[in-house]
Every structure is written in C-alpha cells, then in structure tokens.
Amino acid sequence: MFKFNFSANDLEFDDPELANQQDDDQLDELSTPLESLSVSPTPSNLVPASLLDLQTETCLHSLPLTLHYELAHIPVLNQGSGAASAIAIDTKTGKEQEVVTLYKRNLEDVKFQIAQEDDNFGDDEPQNATNTVTGPGGVEMLALAGKSDLVKGVYEGGLKTWECALDLVAYLAEQKENYDGKKVLELGCGSALPGIYVLTRSDTVKVDLQDYNDQVLKLVTLPNVLLNTHWRPDQHQPADESDEDEEIDTKDDQDVADGDQDDDEEDDEFEEPEADPADGDFVSVELDLPDSDEGKRALVSKVEAQSRLFMGDWSGLVELMAFNNDEDKYDLILTSETIYAEESHAKLYATIKNSLKRGGKALVAAKTFYFGVGGDILSFRRLIEKDGVFDTKVVFSAQAFVRREILELTFKA
C-alpha cells in the first residue's frame, strides 16, 4: 500500500533561505511539448469539478454533533517577529516557542464520527459503501484512507494534514500581509490550514477552498473553517475538557482572529511532533455544534459569506469559475503537497495560470521529491519555466530527510 515518505524531523524549521535555491542551469529543456499544457477533458472516471452547496441537508447533516478537534501549534519562522498567536512550551527543551495555533480535525476524528453515526463503519472493510453522512462511496473512501495515503482518482490524501501545509502557514504568518478585500484560493486544500489561516486574518478577505473529494470538504475542510472562525473553541465551552495537563500562554495582543482571544489562558502542551507531525500529537478535545438544521444553517451561512468550496478534478475548475475579467481572478493562490503526481502537473499549473490575477502570486509548497509516486518540484518548475509566463523563486526551504520548499510564482513583467 502506498505511503508518502516522511521523516521524523520534518517539522524542524530551519532559518528560511529566501534566496532562490535552485540552480537555473539545471532546468533542462522540457521533454513535454508546450501544447500539452492545455487541460485535457475530464476522463469519465475522475470526479468532475463542481461547487459544493453547503446548505443542502446532506451537507448540513455531515457536520458532526460533537466536533472532536486538535490544536496544531505551528512554530513561526522568525521567533520574535511578532507573527505568533501564542507561546507554547516545548516540553522536550523546556523552551518557549512562538507558534501560530490553529484548530483541526484528523482522520481518526472523522472515523470516530462515522462510527458513531453508522454501525456499518469500523476498522474492517465496510459492509456497504453508502452512509448518510459521507454519501455514496464515502465509507469505502474512508476505509481506503485509513490504509493508504492516496488512491489516485478516488482519494487524494485530503483527510490528513501534510507537513508542507504547516510550512505554508508559517511562511504566511511571517509575511504578515494585509488580506483585506483580497481574493484567495487554496487548491487541493484538504484540511486547509493555509487558507484558513488567511481567513482568520481578515473579515473582508474571500478564501475559496478546493479539494478533489466532497467528503473531505464536508468532514474536514468545513469543520476546520468553523473551528477557526465562527465556532471557535475559545468562544464556546468544550464538551470535554479532560486534557488538562498542558500549558500554553495565549498572547493578548496578537490574537488569531480580530481581538477575540483577550484573556484566554488555555491549557495545552506543545510537544515536539514525531513521525507524522501534521497528523497527531496534538491536544484533542471536543465541542458541541448546534444540533438543529437552523443552527447549522446559520453557521454555514457565515462561512458562505467569505468562502466557496469546490470539489472535483482541477480540469474543468477554471471553466466553472467563469471569470469575466482579470479583476475576478485571485490575488493569491495557495497549494500544498499537490505536485506528487507528475501527470497532474499540467492541469494544476494551467489552473493556477488561468485563475491568478495579473500582479497576484501563487505559493506552491511541496517536497522536492515524492518517493513512490515520482512527482518532484524541479519538474513542476521546469514546466512553468518552459511556458515562460511566470517568474519562479524558492521563498522557503527546510532541510529534512526529504527537503521541503515553497515556490513563488509571479507573472513576468
């Protein structure tokens, strides 16, 4: 069964190397002809792009009654830069570390929800592939997700949070940009922490989120948006406050979301994450959502005021968005851990190219190489450079067993 290759020290943040780390001389001629950059029609077996209607009963009912979540403490790149939302104590070194704190669900939380709501779902193969919460195929997809990081064209890894998503949050936090009135898109968002981080920075930013699987959008993306914006645990009494052996100081003056964290002193512990830092080792508590459809509808309406959720394959997404002019397009496009399959590079690149505003930028966070699947950042960069439309620059890199980078794309002058 395929698993991405990650190492134990993947969350160690080096000093950012803001210089372009790639040797441009190495960018050989592309073997792929330019005309192949056009997006091919969606094969019938791929999920077609569409807008997810958050107000449907299916979508409302996929929200759990009890929302289990974790706290992800993401170390900021430049300690002391004022980019942090909290200070956490690293229990191994005993040192204070400035972190951005976001709430997130994980795969186990989702499985727990499904198991509670459908007796047919367990650790074994599902008895049937339908479930009122996940919809047709959802149970099957979740069972697969427990065993494999991705099943191409079926499940693309969005139920977990991957390391580069945390890099992207750390990088965005360091940039301290003003997002007021901006339009942002996160492609292949999964748990969507980068897009959600941007959402928490402004009441007037629009952040659209896209994932291949509607189940990911319903069970992880939407709950994560709610947890970090309109249904924040620090504004509501958690149903279970059993994890009390932890320690975190929340800064009064640098809150995550517009002044709402005044006197909070939460009891969390920052533990240096282990093998899969993005997917575990964080505090787990639970929160009760409104159980009436009206209550959920009201929450979802708040999400809709700033975000649209798109599902399905990248091919067809730009047509679906039907931009009238350049102003309709996005100021910032974010994407993390989405270049692992080289055969998807052209359609991902075409989506970025055709939905980014002139003067905007795209940030692609990725590992330099994906063992087992073959995608790599160099070949993605070659594709872009061959097209000749964008300048590319590595704006962040972290040494680890597999090196991680953030590639910035801006239109050539």
Ligand X SMILES: C[S@@+](CC[C@H](N)C(=O)[O-])C[C@H]1O[C@@H](n2cnc3c(N)ncnc32)[C@H](O)[C@@H]1O
Residues interacting with ligand X, by CB under 6 A? 156-158, 161-162, 164-165, 188-191, 211-212, 216, 313-314, 336-338, 344
Instruction: Please identify, using beta-carbon distances, which residue of 10 and 118 lies nearer to ligand X.
Output: 10
Cβ distance to ligand X smaller for residue 2 or 401: 2
Tell me how far, at minimum, the Cβ of 178 lies from ligand X, in Å: 24
Whether 357 contacts 327, CB under 8 Å: yes
- Closest CB 285 distance from ligand X, rounded Å: 22
Nearest distance, CB of residue 211 and ligand X, angstroms: 4
* 185 vs 289, beta carbon nearer ligand X: 185
The nearest distance, CB 216 to ligand X, in angstroms, is: 6
Least distance between ligand X and beta carbon 115 (Å): 22
Beta carbon nearer to ligand X, 129 or 151: 151
Pairing between β-strand 96-104 and β-strand 183-187 as defined by DSSP bridges: unpaired
Q: Output 205 or 209, the one with its CB closest to ligand X.
A: 209
CA-atom Rg of the chain in angstroms:
20
Q: Which is nearer to ligand X, 74 or 289 (CB)?
A: 74
Q: Could you tell me the smallest distance in angstroms from the CB atom of residue 161 to ligand X?
A: 4
